[in-house]
């Protein structure tokens, strides 16, 4: 399960960028354009977004029922972080067999900065601690998002904003619930197919 802890501090596309793309010189529609930016971003960003990844830096908590099992060679199982790109692991907490919350003090993080989901392993020559097996027993707080949002993602959001700004009614020959074709083509290389 994933929970958003801290949302992005700033929008992916600024009001000025959106207005420039729309060629809007007045301020009458600022609130409406801001709302379109939020809708376009929400459609593609985060765990429920079409991309299945974080676009700008945000903090999430992933919870698991148990630590992963070791493989047949005795290597500790990977605890996958389902949202990319991974910036950092902030905390790894678990409820011990006595029900008391504890921190996993030493672990190794892999995939930091990668466009694919990362994972963590316990420190070298150690294994995962024994935890109680209940829902949300293990909780990993992490930061995810791009340092620089790829131009294709930003432009796709701008295309969606332009499409919706020009087509404000629900009744149309075009299915306005779909991501417009040009936007989809720009987003496709960034979609998380492995998460």
Instruction: Give the tens place of pLDDT for each residue, 92-151.
Output: 999 998 999 999 989 999 999 888 889 999 999 888 999 998 999 999 999 999 999 999
- DSSP strands (E only) in 16-127: 58-64, 79-80, 86-95, 101-103, 107-110, 119-122
Does the structure show a pLDDT above 80 at 159?
yes
DSSP 113: T
Strand partners, 74: none
pLDDT at 157 over 90: yes
For CA atoms 145, 108, 63, 114, the dihedral sign is positive
pLDDT band at 191 (very low <50, low <70, confident <90, very high): confident
The predicted model scores a pTM of 0.85
Residue 177 has pLDDT above 60, yes or no: no
pLDDT top residue among 47 and 19: 19
pLDDT of residue 195: 52
Distances (CA, A) of 9 to 35, 56, 62, 110: 16, 8, 20, 25
Query: Which stretch of DSSP H or E encloses residue 138?
Result: strand 138-144
Confidence of residue 190 (pLDDT cuts 50, 70, 90): confident
140: part of which helix (H) or strand (E)? strand 138-144
- Domains of the chain are 2-54+148-190 (1.10.3230), 58-144 (no CATH)
Q: What is the pLDDT of residues 27-79, one digit of tens each?
A: 999 999 999 999 999 999 988 899 989 999 999 999 999 999 887 777 788 99
User: What pLDDT does residue 174 have?
Assistant: 58
Distance CA 14, CA 34 (A): 8
What pLDDT shows up at residue 76? 83
pLDDT at 70: 81
């Amino acid at each position: 399960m994933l929970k958003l802890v801290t949302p992005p501090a700033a929008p992916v596309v600024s009001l000025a960028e959106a207005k420039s793309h729309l060629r809007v010189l007045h301020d009458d529609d600022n609130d409406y354009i801001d709302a379109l930016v939020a809708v376009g971003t929400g459609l593609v960003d985060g765990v429920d977004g079409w991309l299945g990844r974080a676009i700008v830096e945000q903090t999430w908590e992933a919870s698991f029922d148990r630590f992963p099992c070791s493989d047949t060679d005795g290597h500790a199982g990977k605890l996958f972080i389902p949202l990319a790109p991974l910036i950092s692991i902030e905390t790894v907490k678990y409820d011990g067999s006595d029900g008391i919350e504890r921190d996993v003090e030493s672990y190794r993080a892999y995939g930091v900065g990668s466009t694919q989901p990362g994972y963590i392993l316990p420190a070298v020559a150690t294994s995962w601690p024994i935890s109680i097996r209940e829902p949300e027993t293990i909780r990993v707080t992490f930061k995810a998002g791009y340092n620089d949002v790829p131009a294709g993602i930003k432009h796709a959001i701008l295309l969606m904003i332009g499409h919706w700004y020009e087509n404000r009614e629900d009744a149309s020959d075009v299915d306005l619930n779909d991501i417009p074709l040009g936007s989809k083509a720009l987003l496709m290389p960034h979609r998380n197919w492995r998460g």
